[in-house]
Homo-oligomer: A and B are copies of this chain.
Amino acid sequence: MVTDDDMTLVDPGSDDAYDLDRKRVAQILAAVDSGRQDLLTELMEPLHAADIADLLEQISSADRAQLIQLYGREFDGEILSELDEAIREDVIALLNPQVLAEAVRDLESDDVVDLLEDLEEPQQAAILETLEDADRVAVEQSLSYPESSAGRLMQREVVMAPEHWTVGQAIDFMRESDSLPDQFYHVVLVDPRLHPIGNVTLGRIMGAKRHVPLAEIVEDTFQIIPVEQDEEDVAYAFNQYHLISAPVVDDEGRLVGVITIDDAMTVLDEEHEEDILRLAGVSDGSLADRVWTTTKQRFPWLAVNLATAVLASLVIAQFEATIAQFVALAVLMPIVASMGGNAGTQTLTVAVRALATRDLTGSNVWRVIRREVLVGLLNGLAFAVIMGIVGVMWFGSPMLGVVIAVAMVINLVVAGLAGTAVPIILEKTGVDPALASGAFVTTVTDIVGFFAFLGLAGAVLL
């Protein structure tokens, strides 16, 4: 229930709605510093588990250790679920075994799975031991499905009904059951072989007469998720078809679980995060990682970039003699490369997104490529005129103006072409286009930019 305290946490009118209240964080840290357990508990009480997790991520590791020790047995299992992987292991190691056992026992089985899959073997085993037998079996079974599959995402508690039941029968059944899941939105209709054949929302059951057959009030949109399906595809289906929950089936089409929209939303959020970071050459990691971890994570992409930059420099080196004669070329050449790199990044980002949202498919691939090349040509012409004029005015050489103008058009057309073709080819070959497109495309635009500009200059000006 909402309390007055809850209200003070957020100021909905401000830009910072749902920001952790900085004053409260300071108060909490002060309570930890002075070792006042009662005050700490009181300050933490109104916070949602997700906010406590954020708090733990944002404070220093020394403060975190102190806080957890003082907070002790109040520590809720949900906080663990919400914690960033980067510090989850540290926090688990800080909890005393009894508190940990109690925290985990309160969680739903799909949350335990989510918690366990990122942990090292010994911590996994320690937590599994604390579970009751039935729960442990369920969790182990979920862990037997491939990582990032629907099987890991689903909850095993399903409310189902035979296809011939009426509304009244379903209501009586639910009434008498004492193991209804905490959250459920549909009754899944199944045939005698347990194949799901339709979803009936609780809302419609509430609104219908008792004698109405459930089969008559099933939802129009109904998607069945295979248990091995990738969670990214699951999230796409929920988003595309506005699903609230969907039945999950095994190889033989038998109902084995249900995925609900909140889990799909989490996956969608994670996939987006991954795409954004990958496009920027950050494949993993969070602010809560250690400096050394982050340094190692960023290194490979920078190394790739170094290799491609050296490649581009080798192109420049071919024209050393030309540059020695016209130093103006050294001044202007980064402009051509930079414009190509930017135009290429614009195009590839649109292409990567369109591939992820299935908006770029076999049906329109050629139209899209043609379109991006045309956009590159038009913007290339515009900037050719601008840069041509700048070149002439700056260095007083009409030929230099023409050279930079022509190089600009060439590079922006190439940027349009590479920006679409590279992600499409990567996707075809099974490489995540978000991860690798940037390096390829900017290499192309750097090399083409330098080569076109310096090569033309060499031919025309010498």
Contacts and interface: CB of A to CB of B under 8 A. Distances in A.
B20 A302 contact: no
A240 to B, nearest CB: 5
Contacts of A201: 183
A22 B262 contact: no
Interface string A223-245: 11110111001001111111010
B171 A206 contact: yes
B339 A330 contact: no
Interface stretch (A92-100, A113-121, A304-312): A304-312
A359 B12 contact: no
A183 B244 contact: yes
A379 interface: yes
Interface string A248-287: 0000000000000110111011001101110111100111
A57 interface: yes
Count of this chain's copies in the oligomeric assembly:
2
A346 B301 contact: yes
The secondary structure that dominates the A interface is helix
B323 A330 contact: yes
B273 A276 contact: no
Size class of the A contact interface (CB-based, 8 Å): 35 or more
A184 B203 contact: yes
A248 B303 CA distance: 50
Given A244-B262, A287-B360, 10 more contacts: A17-B229, A17-B236, A48-B241, A180-B207, A183-B201, A291-B374, A294-B375, A309-B339, A310-B335, A323-B327
24 contacts: A12-B225, A13-B226, A17-B229, A17-B230, A60-B367, A175-B206, A180-B207, A244-B262, A273-B353, A273-B357, A281-B342, A281-B345, A286-B350, A286-B354, A287-B364, A295-B379, A298-B346, A299-B382, A305-B338, A306-B339, A312-B334, A313-B332, A323-B323, A324-B324
